């Protein structure tokens, strides 16, 4: 299925792009993350399992079990702090 993946902040800097269209066989955010990690060192470093990475599905914060659907939008970004 084709989906849109967006990257923000340090994840975007590490990967070198803000968004891309992805043709994926993954059915969940977890599967997509694992699939992206295999794309190369930049993805592996930015999305590594030991790193804290937040995810949103169709602009709603979601956990890794969230199901993907054709045409959905996924966003990856680091935890946000502020004051």
Answer yes or no: is 67 within a domain: yes
Query: Does residue 82 belong to any structural domain of this protein?
Result: no
Q: What are phi and psi of 48, to 5 degrees?
A: -50, 145
Residues 6+ apart with CB under 8 A from 62: 29, 55, 56
| CA 31 – CA 21 distance, rounded (Å) | 16
Q: Which pLDDT tens digit goes with each residue over 12-62?
A: 999 999 999 999 999 999 999 999 999 999 999 999 998 899 999 999 999
pTM: 0.92
Domain count for the chain = 1
Q: Whole domain around residue 29: which residue ranges?
A: 2-77
Question: Is residue 83 a part of any domain in this protein?
Answer: no
Cross-strand pairs, 65: none
Tell me the CATH number at 58: 3.10.20.30
């Amino acid at each position: 299925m084709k989906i849109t993946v967006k990257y923000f902040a340090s994840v975007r800097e590490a990967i070198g792009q803000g968004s891309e269209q992805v043709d994926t066989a993954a059915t969940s955010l977890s599967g997509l993350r694992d699939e992206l990690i295999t794309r190369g060192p930049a993805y592996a470093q930015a999305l590594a399992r030991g790193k804290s990475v937040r995810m949103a599905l169709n602009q709603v914060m979601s956990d890794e079990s969230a199901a993907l659907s054709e045409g959905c939008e996924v966003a990856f970004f680091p935890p946000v702090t502020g004051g």
